[in-house]
Structure 1
Amino acid sequence: MINKTSNKLNLILYIILSCPYFIMAQSILLNEDHSDWENVDLVSSDFDDGQFIDIRELKIANDDNYLFLRFSFDQEIILQDENDITLYLDIDNEITTGNSFNGMGADIIFNFGQKRGNFYGNQIFSIFHNDIGLISSPTVSSTEFEIGIKRQFDFTNLSMANDIKLFIRTSSFLGDYIPNEEEAASYQMKDNIPSFAGDYNIFPDPNADFRVMSYNVLRDQIFEPESKDAYSRILSTVKPDIFCFQEIYDHNATSLLNYLEDLDVINTIQEEWYAIKDGRDLITLSKYPIKFHREVFGNSFLVADVDGQDLIIINCHLPCCDNNNGREEEIDAILSFLRNGLEGNAPYPIISGTPYMILGDMNFVGFASQVESLLTGNIDDNYRFGDDVVLDWDDGLMTDVKPQTTGFPATFTWYNPFGSFSAGRLDYCIYTDATMEATNSYVLNTNGLSQSEIQETGLEIDDVNQASDHLPLIMDFKLLQTSTIDFSDEITIELSPNPFKDYLNIKSDNDVYSIQLIDNNGKIVFFKSLGAHLGKEINIQVTNHLKSGSYTAIIHTKNGYSSKPLIVVN
């Protein structure tokens, strides 16, 4: 008789012996989700001994390319702003080299709040985030942070030894230490731990319904001759169905559409494309008809018809840097506009179950509450913008995609080696997970692609550097359900003349919000939102040159929806 239990134990033992770090070590992904740190031992835990800021816990990990640190505080801070938090790192565990301090020789002393540090070798010289490959997460306020530092430094031929020491201090004046003063954390690098690989696919998921891209193109840089080829390769490779651009100030939507056709990114002869611009810099191109769009406090609200299904996209470019009030104001305005639409009191009433997403360059470098507002529907200024809103159709939170950056154990979307801030996540996509699913997503960074990926895609290593300081976000979505309209028999609607040719009169017993015409294949062939021109008797011109035949008119009124047959004669 075969002993199945013995065979299972032998198999498990074989796996463990074949992979020495199967249990003891795992790859870390800097994505604001700390679950991958659960099996990493605490290096130090020290509560309530800080004068001003109390640093509480420290964990250390590594992979073949990065040293990772996770540390926490007793209060929310912004890591790269207005603090004196400093990392002391002895890269060779040798007290005779570097700056002798706290029982070790600190080769690198880096101040996160000042966003700079020093390297202590034969000479002392200044270093910045790009010199040590620093990645920090999150960019917003938090009590917990995780960072990555490259083990091989770009500014010198030195690299970290297998044995290192480090500590963190919150201030040079009465600051808290972790580990405590007169101590340092010793760490031995673990071998053969590849960086977090991820499961993204650069090419579109064949099982998804559509692909959307968000891309800040750095003040019309996409039109510059020196960037043209890089953009052509990037956009031709990712092939989104919907392009959402930020920072196109000096060109209109038609100019961009024609330009991308010249670059062979799209082909308007083979398929029709739609282009709109809202605000100062937001352009959306879509292979699906755009039924409605409106600027909302500088951001773009649009409705695309994805094979008969409404898809709402809010393309955003929120205020940057330390303008927390401006960001909060625009977030409140977006949430207020959504709430009014969900309640049927907006220029475009939102039908129950309609999928929607909020994406773009959010510039989230301030308060974490701003991110939370887009997940929860919490409006900061209720006096100006009204009540909070329940955003997702299952009454739960919206979902933050957090796509991985290609070739990096992180989710950063912005990187400027000449800027003062380290790589971080500024660009977001937040969506209704009750109505659609992100089946594949990534942030394209050509610097991290393997040689086989370069050959397969035709991209070049330096493409994203030539294009912008932001990286493109690419998401594939599958629709989980379609929105439904509840029709009412109690609404009185009269359409005349019927049959009609160009002009149609709509008469109702209450205000009319919108009308759409649907052909016999279920396709929306005409849509008009009446916006501020509400009324009980409306005369509209249908300009879509409809073919003669029978259609269904769906009229949205203050009291609900009504459906009427309609005949077109041309």
Structure 2
Amino acid sequence: MILRTTLAFISGLFLFADLARSDAPYIMDGRFGDWAGVPIAATDPAGDASGAFDLTRVQVASRGTMLFLRFDTGTVLNLQSGPREEGTLRLDIELPDERTLTLDLRRRAFMLDGETDGAPGWRDLRFESAPTYASNDFELRLDLAAVGVGLGDTVSINFSGSDSLDVPILHTFEAEEQGTPEIRFDRPAGTDFRIVSINTEHTGLFNAERFESFARLLRSADADIYAIQEEYQSSEEQFPGLFRRIDPRGDGAEWYVHKNNDNVIVSRYPVHPIPVRDTRYVAGLVDMGDRGSVIIFNLHLKCCGSINSPEDERRIAEMGRVLADLDDVRRGIVAMPREEHRIAPAIIIGDYNLVGSRIPKDMILNTGMATHPIVHTGDYSVSTWRAHHQRPGSFPPGRLDLVAYSSDLLARLNSYALNSGGLTVSQRNALGLKEGDSDVTDHRMLVIDFGFGTSER
């Protein structure tokens, strides 16, 4: 039973987590700046773990009934997958009604009093964690309203499996909800082009039952360039007609297309194909005339696995080929329509599938390019993928889709990840969307506004 009493009575039995004093929102993006004002709630000796997860510190906070945790693992690893010998880490939360909610991270399952039957799932608890790639520092959130927790309630928090705390943490839910982010859907002043990334999940654009939802999504973005992944069963020749039918900008314009395997670049401006070494991506120069030009690499890297797995090694090799192809352009090995195109800004966009190491991301950052998390409409979340179901064993939401760009030549002026279900009715009406449109695929559509130059806001 959880005691509701004074700190003086139980200070010798439990460690307490104080709320952060800042009103800044907690964003599950793996950057941790929002934890700066949150004290350490518990420490644990290093080297006492029975598996790979070796806790040494835990931070806890809440907004409304949403519980936020930050913890280290000692070893760089993936939360949700890895070799069996690493063991697992379980988060155990004793609830006010004396039930225990457990999250087994490697089993990817929630349990109530040890049973998965009747336990909530990822969506029920609005679960998010970050980073999706391997790290030794993680943050996660879960909304305990789904298990009856309300403001004023106290829960007891501990871990089991690979490691545990000597003393549980008591946390009382006292802070107000953090609200939702302010998102603008129009193009800011100075925008030269808008680009979209969307994974259509198994040739979704040409699925008759899903087409209208996709058409509304693409129209709502009103973009100049669309980077599309997982269009396996469609051909390049089909896309100009499809986009004339959708007419994303409502002006009847012609669209230019370049496709390689499942990846497609669709642009209202001419696309000059760039030869590539791999079928996991497509590349092209989008020529906007006097406005400028941009080199687009649209990726769908190898899925699955964990750090140091064969899948991880393939992703690293694929990113190496992406950067080699871009270097060929820069060095003039690949012919371009004009000499100045060799030094045009580049955007590397799409489904990076970063579920192993972060090396592919670091390879891009080491070239001087930049990437930033993109926040959802209606939620302080940056995950871009979620399963259509939440059965035990299914993967939790994760950030698989990224946008990297030449920050010395491009200014990122605005961005959002569209979740139609997180919009207000008036917002959906203004964008021509229906509530369930984003559920037509397991990836969120990313929308980014760029200007030629370096002044970001």
Normalised by the length of structure 2, the TM-score is: 0.85
Match of 2:327 among 321, 339, 363: 339
Shift of 1:91: 2.8
Letter in 1 for 2:387: N
Pairing 1:42–2:29 present: no
- Indicate if the aligned counterparts of 1:261 and 1:267 stay in contact, CA closer than 8 A: no
Shift of 1:74: 1.5
Letter in 2 for 1:413: T
- Indicate if the aligned counterparts of 1:203 and 1:238 stay in contact, CA closer than 8 A: no
SS of residue matched to 1:409: coil
Pairing 1:434–2:408 present: yes
Residue aligning to 2:296: 313
CA separation of 1:338 and 1:293: change in aligned 2, threshold 3 A: closer
Match of 1:195 among 173, 179, 189: 179
- Indicate if the aligned counterparts of 1:87 and 1:166 stay in contact, CA closer than 8 A: no
Residue aligning to 1:57: 57
Unaligned runs of 5+ in 1: 1-20, 99-106, 377-390, 392-396, 482-570
Measure, in 1, the Cα distance between the counterparts of 2:447 and 2:88. Answer: 36
CA separation of 1:335 and 1:40: change in aligned 2, threshold 3 A: same
CA separation of 1:152 and 1:287: change in aligned 2, threshold 3 A: same
Shift of 1:195: 3.0
- Indicate if the aligned counterparts of 2:316 and 2:359 stay in contact, CA closer than 8 A: no
Shift of 1:451: 2.8
The 5 Å alignment of 1:288-299 reads 288-298=269-279, 299=281
The 5 Å alignment of 1:90-489 reads 90-92=94-96, 94=97, 97-98=98-99, 107-120=100-113, 125-153=118-146, 158-160=148-150, 162-169=152-159, 171=161, 175-177=162-164, 180-181=165-166, 183-197=167-181, 199-266=182-249, 269=252, 271-278=253-260, 280-298=261-279, 299-308=281-290, 309-322=292-305, 323-348=311-336, 353-376=343-366, 391=367, 397-418=368-389, 420-465=394-439, 467-480=440-453
Measure, in 1, the Cα distance between the counterparts of 2:277 and 2:195. Answer: 21
Instruction: After superposition, give the CA deviation of every residue in 1:17-71 in whole Å (9 maximum; x if it has no partner).
Output: xxxx994543211112211110112111334142343212211122235221111
Shift of 1:416: 1.5
- Indicate if the aligned counterparts of 1:28 and 1:196 stay in contact, CA closer than 8 A: no
- Indicate if the aligned counterparts of 2:20 and 2:39 stay in contact, CA closer than 8 A: no
Measure, in 1, the Cα distance between the counterparts of 2:359 and 2:340. Answer: 26
Measure, in 2, the Cα distance between the counterparts of 1:114 and 1:58. Answer: 21
CA separation of 1:124 and 1:305: change in aligned 2, threshold 3 A: closer
Measure, in 2, the Cα distance between the counterparts of 1:434 and 1:152. Answer: 45
Measure, in 2, the Cα distance between the counterparts of 1:417 and 1:359. Answer: 23
Instruction: Select between 293-302 and 75-84 the one with higher mean Cα deviation.
Output: 293-302
Measure, in 1, the Cα distance between the counterparts of 2:444 and 2:157. Answer: 33
Measure, in 2, the Cα distance between the counterparts of 1:310 and 1:264. Answer: 23
Identity %: 23
SS of residue matched to 1:296: coil
- Indicate if the aligned counterparts of 2:285 and 2:295 stay in contact, CA closer than 8 A: yes
Measure, in 1, the Cα distance between the counterparts of 2:327 and 2:375. Answer: 31
**Higher relative contact order structure (alpha carbons within 8 Å, sequence separation ≥ 6):** 2
CA separation of 1:138 and 1:442: change in aligned 2, threshold 3 A: same
Pairing 1:85–2:89 present: yes
Measure, in 2, the Cα distance between the counterparts of 1:422 and 1:314. Answer: 27
- Indicate if the aligned counterparts of 2:65 and 2:151 stay in contact, CA closer than 8 A: no
CA separation of 1:442 and 1:267: change in aligned 2, threshold 3 A: closer
Shift of 1:122: 11
RMSD: 2.4
CA separation of 1:367 and 1:126: change in aligned 2, threshold 3 A: same
Letter in 1 for 2:43: S
- Indicate if the aligned counterparts of 1:27 and 1:62 stay in contact, CA closer than 8 A: no
Measure, in 2, the Cα distance between the counterparts of 1:418 and 1:356. Answer: 36
- Indicate if the aligned counterparts of 1:49 and 1:176 stay in contact, CA closer than 8 A: no
Residue aligning to 1:503: none
Normalised by the length of structure 1, the TM-score is: 0.69
Measure, in 1, the Cα distance between the counterparts of 2:332 and 2:431. Answer: 45
Unaligned runs of 5+ in 2: 1-18, 306-310
SS of residue matched to 1:225: coil
Higher strand share: 1
- Indicate if the aligned counterparts of 2:345 and 2:406 stay in contact, CA closer than 8 A: yes
- Indicate if the aligned counterparts of 2:193 and 2:450 stay in contact, CA closer than 8 A: yes
Residue aligning to 1:558: none
Instruction: After superposition, give the CA deviation of every residue in 1:105-144 in whole Å (9 maximum; x if it has no partner).
Output: xx20110111013113999645442342211111100111
Residue-pair matches, total: 418
Measure, in 2, the Cα distance between the counterparts of 1:350 and 1:342. Answer: 10
Q: Which has the larger radius of gyration?
A: 1
Letter in 1 for 2:129: S
